[in-house]
Amino acid sequence: MENSIENSFAGKWIRSIAMNLRRIALLCIVVAVASSVWALTRKQYWTASAITVVPGGQQSSLGGLAGIAGLAGSLLPDQLSGIGSMMGMESSALDVNLVFQVLTSRTVCERIIFQYDLLADMKVPTMDDALLKFRERASVFLTPESFFVVSMEADSREKAAAIVNDIIEFSNQELSTIITSRARRSRIAAEEFLSAAEESLLIAQDRMENFREETGLLFPEQQGVLSIDLLGTLETELILAEAELAGVSGTMSSSSTVYLEIARRVAFLRNSMLGKAAGDSLSYFPGLDSMPAMLKEYENIAINLETRRAIYLMLRQELESLKLEEAKDSPTLEILVPAVPSALRSYPKRGKLVIQYTAIALFLSLLWIAVITYAKQLMDDETTGPFWNTILRTSRNQLFPRRKRTKTQSRLS
C-alpha cells in the first residue's frame, strides 16, 4: 500500500511539496510583504449610505387583493372605492419609478460633480468620462420593499456622507420642478392668474389713492353724514340768531352794540352755510353740490376695487389649497437612515488583500509543483519518456541550433 502511494502522482506531488516547503514559505512571506506594502500605497476610500423612502410608495400584497375585491363588487355603490385603491397603487408605482429615474439622472450627477469639483479629482477630460467614473462610485438600490439605498464612495468620510445627502437634496429639488400631477399644473396656472390679479388690484388701489388725494374724501359716507350734521347745526344756529335779531330790532336801533353783534353773527352763519354748501378748500367736509358726483365716482372705484380684491382673495385661497394637494400628491424623498461618516474604510482592506494574495501565491506554487511533478513522471516513464525526450531535443535544436564545427576545430579535437 505504501509502495503504491509512493509511486503514485499524489505521493510524488506531496514529496515535492515537502522538499520545497521552505521555498513555498519564503515565497508566501515575500508576497505577503509585497502586498502589504502595495496596500499601504493605495488611495483610501470610505463609503456612506442612506436609506430613503417615497411616502405612500409601499404597498403590501394584500392591498392589491383588496383592490380586486372592491372592483369585483363594484356593482354596489359603496364598493366603488376599490377602483380608487387600485389607481392609488398604480400612482405609487409611478412615483417610485419616477424617483428612481431622478436619483440616477444625468442632471443630479452633473450637479454633484460640479459641486465637489470631481472633474479634477477624477482626472478626466470630459463630462461623459466623469459620469462613468462617478456612477462606479455612486449607487442607488431599490429594495423589494420600495426603499431606496443611496451609497457613495469618496476619499474622505465626511465627503462621502455629504455627497449622499446632496444627492437626496438635489433629487427633491428636481422633483419639485417636474410636473407630475394635475394639482401641480393647476398650481402653476393659479400662480400666473394670481400674479395678474395682484397687478390689477394694485392698479385699482392706486386709482382709489389718487381719488382720495384729489377730492379729500377719505371716508365719503362718514364725511357726508358729518357734513349734513354740520349744515343742520349751522342752520339751527342761523335761525336762532335771525329770530333773536328780529326780536331786538323792534326795541333797539340798528346802531346799537347788541344789534350789531347779533347782525354780524347772522351774517357769519349765513356765509358759513353758503361756503359749506359750495365746498371749502380749507375744510375736510366736501360741498353738498359736488357730493353726489363724488359719491358716484367713489362707488364705481370702490366696486372695481372690491371686485378685484375678491378675485385676488379667491385665487389666493385656491392657490393655498392646490399647494396642499400638490404636497400630498407629489413624490418626495424622506430620509429614514441618514448618511453619516463611516468609521472603517471600504478600500483598501489591507488584511483581506494580504490574505488573498498570499493564498493565490500558495495556490500557484502548489500548482507549479504539480505541473513539474507530472512532467517528471512523464519523462521518467519507460513508455512515454523516450517520446517526450525526443520532442524536447528536437524543439531545443530548432530553437537553439548548434553551429557546425569547422575542420580546424575537428582536427584540434
pLDDT digits (tens, 9 = 90+) for 346-403: 878 888 889 999 999 999 999 999 888 888 877 777 777 778 778 878 888 888 876 6
pLDDT for residue 149: 94
Phi, psi torsion values for 251, nearest 5 degrees: -110, -20
In angstroms, the Cα distances linking 66 to 84, 87, 295 are 11, 12, 66
pTM: 0.53
Q: What is the pLDDT of residue 186?
A: 81
Question: What are the phi and psi torsion angles at 146 (to 5°)?
Answer: 70, 35
Nearest to 58 by CA among 91, 84, 81: 91
CB 306 within 8 A of CB 201: no
Return d(Cα 140, Cα 125) in angstroms, integer. Answer: 25
- The closest alpha carbon to 103, from 59, 58, 51, belongs to 51
| DSSP-assigned states of every residue in 133-154 | HHHHHEEEEE-TTSEEEEEEEE
DSSP 299-359: HHHHHHHHHHHHHHHHHHHHHHHHHHHHHHHS---EEEE-----SS-SB--HHHHHHHHHH
pLDDT computed for residue 58 by the predictor: 56
Q: How far apart are CA 100 and CA 117, in angstroms?
A: 24
For residue 282, the SS3 value is coil
Distance (Å, rounded) from C-alpha 3 to C-alpha 11?
Answer: 10
How far lies 201's CA from each of 37, 168, 306, in Å?
A: 76, 40, 9
pLDDT of residue 247: 72
What is the pLDDT at residue 150?
A: 93
349: closest CA among 140, 16, 14, 38? 38
What's the pLDDT score for residue 343?
Answer: 81
Q: Which residues pair with 148 in a beta bridge?
A: 52, 142
Tell me which amino acid residue 304 is.
Answer: N
> What pLDDT sits at residue 3?
56
Question: What pLDDT, on a 0 to 100 scale, did the predictor assign at position 75?
Answer: 38
Task: Please list the ranges in the chain whose pLDDT falls under 70.
Answer: 1-6, 56-92, 94, 179-182, 219, 221-228, 230-231, 250, 253-254, 273-290, 327, 329, 402-413
Closest by CA to 270, choosing from 250, 240, 290, 228, is 240
406, amino acid identity? T
Burial class (CB within 10 angstroms; exposed 0-12, middle 13-18, buried 19+) of 46 = buried
Give tens-digit pLDDT for 243-265: 777 777 767 766 777 777 878 77
| Per-residue pLDDT, 51 | 93
Looking at residue 81, its pLDDT comes to: 43
